[in-house]
Amino acid sequence: MFDFYPLNETRESSSLKAKRFINNGLVKVSSFADINKNQIVTETRNELEKAFQKKRFPRQIDLHQIRNQDIQELVLNLFSSKEVKNLFKELSQKSGSEVTLFPFIDVMRNYFSGPQCGFPGWHNDAGGELPYYFCREKMRTGKYLFGKLSISFQPNGIYGGNIDIAKATYKKYEKKSLRQMISNISIKTFFKIYKRSPSFRLLGKDQWVSDYLSIITNPKTVSPDPLDVIAFEHRLYHRGTPASPNGWKELKKRIPTLSIENFKIPGDINLDEKNKYIIYAHFGNIFGLQSYIYDRSRRDLWKQEKKRWLEQYKFLELFKSEFQNSSVFFQKVLEIKGIELNNNFRD
Ligand SMILES: [Fe+2]
């Protein structure tokens, strides 16, 4: 675990929040000030676990597939709050193009990086867009705006629970920072040689050896409170916080066969109160959306993804009544010639 990232206060102005998002790639949008917060978190965690159990523990579930009224209402309220809408308004003004919410909205369960199992996990969500001139051009002109909103159901700590960000690497345009590239190469080389990272205590820090190779990126651990809404930019270099060596040792004592396979704790393993749940949504303006779709539609699963987008537009109240322009933007982008490669979708 790294030092905590100093998150902003929720009560500060939307204009300041928008500036933080644009300059740092991360901002806390809202916090949840209900006196029954702990109870709501516990109950939602229980209901989420039931939903995952019903579907035999997939990696993620799309929100519209969760048939629980309380969860639906909670997410609807959190993602359409006045703080979120005001931030979008500010970002629309600053980017010169309307910012809105986009699919997928989904829940991920026990999705972790794991240097101890060969998964260092650092990436840019926009990594798939960067190889394309079309996408880089959107970023280069400064019109691009795209990112994720997240809601977590646990704090971050020695068992993981949220994300680590490489604070010194964030770039607003299409170039990757030199620090990111150096750190990335050294981490890749390390795992090529050693496969897995051992732990190493230095200056009292509970740290994986490979994590010292990211020090030049000034990595920080982000730990919002449960039910806070966080916004992070698609180009921000980050990873799901792994369990620390001490945290992992404790978990292993309880479940000796515990491992991380492909960034995930095997579905049938239940960490109970230490299960990690995060709900994500996309947001951005039409230029960000163009870049995102350009990349996604060139991937194998686009047909299914597109179907999921349309389903969310059809079934989620968030899109039906709160962010009605979202589906209009999606259709508009699909109509731009050359954006969607696999446009032969018919059901
Ligand atoms: Fe990510």
Residues 221-239 pLDDT 10s: 999 999 999 999 999 999 9
Q: Provide the pLDDT for residue 330.
A: 98
Distance CA 262, CA 112 (A): 9
pLDDT tens profile 32-74: 988 999 999 999 999 999 999 999 999 999 999 999 999 999 9
Separation between Cα atoms, residue 256 and residue 246, nearest integer Å: 14
Q: Is residue 180 in some structural domain? A: yes
253: containing domain: 14-283
Cβ density class 147-168: b for 16+ within 10 Å, e for less? bbbbbbbbebbbbbbbbbbbbb
Q: How far is the CA of 123 from the centre of ligand 1 (A)?
A: 6
Mean pLDDT (the chain) is: 94
Is residue 332 in a domain?
A: no
CA of 148 to the centre of ligand 1 (A): 9
Report how many domains make up the chain.
1
- Answer yes or no: is 4 within a domain: no
Residue 167 has pLDDT above 80, yes or no: yes
pLDDT, tens digit, 9 for 90 and up, residues 10-39: 999 999 999 999 999 999 999 998 899 999
For the chain, give percent helix, strand, coil, nearest 5: 45, 20, 35
Q: What local confidence, expressed as pLDDT, does residue 347 receive?
A: 41
Residues, beta carbon < 5 Å, ion ligand 1: 125
CATH of the domain at 93: 2.60.120
Q: How many CB atoms lie within 10 A of CB 86?
A: 17
pTM of the model: 0.94
Residue 290 lies in a domain: no
**Dist. CA 35 → ligand 1 center (Å):** 31
CA of 79 to the centre of ligand 1 (A): 19
Neighbours of 254 (CB within 10 A): 11
**Which token pair is 156?**
């971050």
239 Cα to the center of ligand 1, angstroms: 6
Residue matched to tokens 């389903």:
311
* 77 within a domain of the structure (yes/no): yes
* Res 346: pLDDT: 43
Rounded distance from Cα 121 to ligand 1 centre (Å)? 9
Q: What are phi and psi of 138, to 5 degrees?
A: -60, -40
Give distance in angstroms: CA of 126 to centre of ligand 1: 9
In a domain, 336, yes or no: no
Q: Is residue 115 scored above 50 in pLDDT?
A: yes
Residue 95 lies in a domain: yes
The answer to whether position 340 is within a domain reads no
**H and E: helices and strands count for the chain:** 11, 12
